[in-house]
Amino acid sequence: MHTKTIAQLIEGLRSKEFSSVELTRHYLQRIKERDGTYNSYITVTEEAALAQAEAADQRLAAGDDSPLCGVPIAHKDIFCTTGIRTSCGSKMLDNFIAPYDATIVENYQKAGAVMLGKTNMDEFAMGSSNETSYYGPVKNPWNTNCVPGGSSGGSAAAVAALLAPAATASDTGGSIRQPAALCNLTGLKPTYGRVSRWGMIAFASSLDQAGTLTRTAEDSAIMLNAMASFDAKDSTCVDQPLEDYTAGLSNSLQGLTIGIPEEYFGEGLNPQTAERVQAAIKVYESLGATTKSISLPHTHLAVPAYYVIAPAECSANLSRFDGVRYGHRCDDPKDLADLYKRSRGEGFGDEVKRRILVGTYALSAGYYDAYYNKAQQVRRLIKQDFVDAFNQVDVVLGPTSPSPAFEFGAKSDDPVAMYLEDIYTIATNLAGLPGLSIPCGMVDNKPVGLQLIGNYFAEGKLLNVAHQFQLATDFHQQLAPETA
C-alpha cells in the first residue's frame, strides 16, 4: 500500500481494496518500525488517526465523493492542531498545545484526510538542513549521512521514506522546494495569498506560504485542491476564484514557452546538477515546448534582500514569545526583564537568536532606511524582473538547489554558506510567485531537483508542466533505498 501514490490510494479506497483504517494502521506500523532511522516525525497521533480513519470509512461507505476521504497525510509541526502539541521544532513551544486548528488543517479534515502526525522541521522554519530542530536532525532517506534539506525536512523525509503518502509544508525562502529536490519529491509553493496562513506559526509574514510535498505532480494537484481557500481570518489571503488543479494536467505542452534564466546557471552551480537540468530542458523540447534564454538581472540581490526582510519580520513575529502567556518560561525569574530575557534565551536555539538579532539590527533607529527600506525597494526590482520575464514566457525553469544533499555539519557553522543553499528559490518568495520542484535525475545516487516558476496564480499551469514531464520520465518513480 505504501508505494501507491495518492491518486492510487483514492482508487484503492473507492474500490474497497483496503479501508482507511487498514491503510492508516499500515502507515502507523511503518512509522513505528522505521522512523527511528529518519526522525521525520516529532509527534505521531495514533489514536486520533485511527478515529479519523474510522470516520472516513463511514463517510466512504455513505458514498462521500471528497477525493482525499480516508487518505492519511502528515502535517508539518508549524500548523496548529487542536489538542495536539505544535512545537514548531522549538524548545520554546515544546509544551504548546494549540487551542485551535490552522485553516489548512481544518480544510484537510473537512476533506476527510487522516492526520498521521506532526513532522520535524528546522526551528521556527529557519534553516535549510533540518539541523536546527530542537528534536534533532532528520536524515535523508536517500543517504542517511546527508541532510534532507529544510526547513520542511521532516515532511520531505516522511514522504520519501514512504511513512506518509503526502505531507503539508511551508516555504519562506525555499523550505518546500529545496527538501523536495534533496529527497526526490514534488514540492509546491503556491502564490503568496493562495493558501491561508491562519494557524501557521509566523516566521516572515510577507514571505511565508503553505504548500505540499508529494511523490507526483498529480498528487500535488489533488492536495492543493483541498488546501487552497480564501480565508477572511488571514488578512493577506487573496480572494481569487478556486479552480480544479487536476483539470489541466493532461494539456499538451505544444506551444509552451519556457524561459531559462542565465543567472541560474552561473558560478556556484554544481556542474553535474547543471547537466541534469539541461537534460530536462531537452525533454521539454521533445514534448513540443520552446525554450528562450532570459535574464533576471537582480537575482544576485535576492539572498541579501531576503536576509534583511525575513529576519526583520522574524524579530517582530517572535516577540510574542515572552514566557508569560504560553511557551517556555525560565525558572525563578528575579524580575520581568529577567523573565523575558532568560525565557527567550533558553527557549530559542542559535539560528533563531541570530535572525532575531539581525532583524533587530535592521529595524533599529538609524539603520531602518539603509537596510529594511532598501531591501523592500530591491524586492520590487526582483519582482519586476519576473513581470518582464512573464511578458515573454509561460514558465521559468532552472535548478532548485545549487547541489545535491550535503553531509551533516557541512554548513552548520557557516550561516552564509547555508543561506546560499536557497539562492535559486528565494527570489520566488520575494516576488510572491508560485514555484515547484520535481525530480530530474541523480548525481552520486542523490536526487536533483528541477525548479519551475509560474506567473501569479498559475499553479494549474505549473502542475500541468510538471505532470507532462513525469509522464515522459521516471525520475519521480525512483524510491529511496530500503523504503519499498
Partner 1 sequence: MAVNQSDIEKLAELAKLEISTEAAGATADSISQVLELVDQLQAADTSGVAPMAHPLDAVQRLRADQVTETDQRDTLQAMAPATEDGLYLVPRVIE
Tell the smallest beta-carbon distance from residue 103 to partner 1 (Å). Answer: 15
- Which of residues 232 and 242 has its CB atom nearest to partner 1 in the complex? 232
Tell the smallest beta-carbon distance from residue 155 to partner 1 (Å). Answer: 24
Question: What is the distance in angstroms between the CA of the first residue and the CA of the last residue of the chain?
Answer: 10
Cell triple for 461: 499551469
Tell the smallest beta-carbon distance from residue 42 to partner 1 (Å). Answer: 18
Tell the smallest beta-carbon distance from residue 456 to partner 1 (Å). Answer: 7
Cell triple for 126: 529557519
Give yes or no: 403 in active site: no
Rounded distance between C-alpha atoms, residue 290 and residue 306, angstroms: 32
Tell the smallest beta-carbon distance from residue 432 to partner 1 (Å). Answer: 2
Among 19, 20, 175, 315, the one annotated catalytic: 175
Q: For residues 391-412, b (16+ Cβ closer than 10 Å) or e, as one string?
A: eebbbbbbbbbbbbbbebeebb
Give yes or no: 220 in active site: no
- Which of residues 232 and 471 has its CB atom nearest to partner 1 in the complex? 232
- Which of residues 154 and 323 has its CB atom nearest to partner 1 in the complex? 323
Among 76, 118, 446, 461, the one annotated catalytic: 76
Tell the smallest beta-carbon distance from residue 54 to partner 1 (Å). Answer: 27
Among 19, 20, 133, 151, the one annotated catalytic: 151
Query: Cβ distance 188 to 463 under 8 Å?
Result: yes
Tell the smallest beta-carbon distance from residue 193 to partner 1 (Å). Answer: 6
- Which of residues 12 and 304 has its CB atom nearest to partner 1 in the complex? 304
Rounded distance between C-alpha atoms, residue 86 and residue 44, angstroms: 12
Tell the smallest beta-carbon distance from residue 88 to partner 1 (Å). Answer: 14
Rounded distance between C-alpha atoms, residue 237 and residue 107, angstroms: 15
Give yes or no: 411 in active site: no
Q: How many other CB atoms are there within 10 angstroms of residue 365's CB atom? A: 5
- Which of residues 357 and 471 has its CB atom nearest to partner 1 in the complex? 357
- Which of residues 125 and 222 has its CB atom nearest to partner 1 in the complex? 125
- Which of residues 32 and 233 has its CB atom nearest to partner 1 in the complex? 233
- Which of residues 8 and 376 has its CB atom nearest to partner 1 in the complex? 376
Query: Cβ distance 150 to 121 under 8 Å?
Result: yes
- Which of residues 419 and 424 has its CB atom nearest to partner 1 in the complex? 419
Query: What are the two backbone dihedrals, phi and then psi, of residue 53, each rounded to the nearest 5 degrees?
Result: -65, -40
Tell the smallest beta-carbon distance from residue 13 to partner 1 (Å). Answer: 35
Residues carrying an active site annotation: 76, 151, 175
